[in-house]
């Protein structure tokens, strides 16, 4: 624990009171990301081995953490933009954009974008971790294989058949109750992540308006372009067919 507490080293000269707040909040996020990845990785294994109730149990823990992550934005938002400016320049090129664990969560959840590997400054270890997540199974893959095992085919190349299978899960919830409640848990994970994105962009606009980001993007404009990202678009679309 002593070692952990040596890792918060403000960089700005002259020193800025709120830099410690900024560092602690970011590090707390990374610790929670670590636990989320632990749970999601186990969730993938549980779905692949055909254990939907256990996968749902793990996802419910992820939901609880995600609610903390959304609430935690308020701690950083207690900073005034003028106070942020006292140390903002010493941050570049660091940015949440460079968070490898954040991309790992996106990838393992089902949203894989190889393009980020080129856009991030990665050492060989981080690159290997992201490559592994890109090629490895996602929660959605696990869910689909679970449905296949229950006689509900989810072929990659046949959207209509997939929708029929998903509709059966939703309409025959007594028969497929574990699968149905797991699909709802996946949707909650997706929804909470989307809420975090919205909460984050509002905080960013409050802190830096339309300035570009320290990670090299257009800032809030880039972040707004990510708000419609979804891990499980087919579970959202399904609502229109019920």
**Site residues (CB under 6 A) for ligand HEM?**
25-26, 29, 76, 84, 95-97, 99, 102, 200, 203-204, 207-208, 213-217, 219, 222-223, 226
Closest CA to 51 of 63, 60, 39, 42: 42
> Residue 211 CB, nearest distance to ligand HEM (Å)?
8
- Dihedral sign, Cα of residue 152, residue 154, residue 155, residue 160: positive
Cβ distance to ligand HEM smaller for residue 43 or 213: 213
Length of the chain: 242
Cβ distance to ligand HEM smaller for residue 181 or 222: 222
List Cβ<8 Å contacts ≥24 apart for 208-212. Answer: 208/81, 208/84, 208/88
Q: State in Å, rounded, how far the first CA of the chain is from the last one.
A: 51
As given in the structure block, the two tokens for residue 128 are: 């290997």
> Residue 75 CB, nearest distance to ligand HEM (Å)?
9
Task: Output b/e per residue, 183-196; b: 16+ Cβ within 10 A.
Answer: bebbbebbbbbbeb
Cβ distance to ligand HEM smaller for residue 27 or 132: 27
> Residue 105 CB, nearest distance to ligand HEM (Å)?
9
Cβ distance to ligand HEM smaller for residue 133 or 168: 133
Cβ distance to ligand HEM smaller for residue 138 or 207: 207
Q: How far is the C-alpha of 93 from the C-alpha of 83, rounded, in Å?
A: 19
> Residue 197 CB, nearest distance to ligand HEM (Å)?
7
> Residue 206 CB, nearest distance to ligand HEM (Å)?
8
């Amino acid at each position: 624990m002593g070692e952990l507490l040596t890792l918060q080293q403000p960089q700005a000269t002259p020193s800025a009171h709120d830099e410690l707040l900024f560092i602690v909040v970011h590090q707390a996020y990374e610790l929670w990301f670590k636990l989320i990845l632990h749970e999601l990785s186990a969730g993938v294994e549980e779905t692949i081995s055909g254990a939907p109730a256990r996968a749902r149990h793990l996802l419910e823990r992820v939901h609880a953490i995600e609610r903390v992550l959304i609430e935690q934005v308020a701690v950083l938002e207690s900073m005034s933009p003028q106070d942020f400016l006292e140390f903002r320049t010493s941050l570049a090129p660091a940015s949440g954009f460079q968070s490898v664990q954040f991309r790992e969560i996106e990838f393992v959840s089902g949203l894989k974008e190889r393009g980020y590997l080129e856009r991030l400054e990665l050492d060989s270890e981080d690159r290997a971790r992201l490559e592994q997540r890109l090629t490895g199974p996602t929660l959605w893959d696990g869910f689909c294989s679970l449905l296949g095992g229950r006689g509900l085919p989810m072929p990659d190349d046949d959207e209509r058949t997939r929708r029929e299978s998903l509709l059966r899960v939703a309409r025959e919830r007594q028969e497929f109750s574990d699968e149905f409640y797991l699909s709802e848990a996946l949707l909650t994970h997706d929804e909470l992540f989307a809420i975090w994105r919205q909460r984050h962009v509002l905080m960013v606009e409050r802190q830096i308006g339309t300035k570009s980001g320290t990670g090299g993007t257009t800032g809030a404009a880039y972040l707004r372009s990510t708000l419609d990202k979804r891990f499980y678009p087919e579970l959202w679309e399904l609502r229109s067919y019920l």
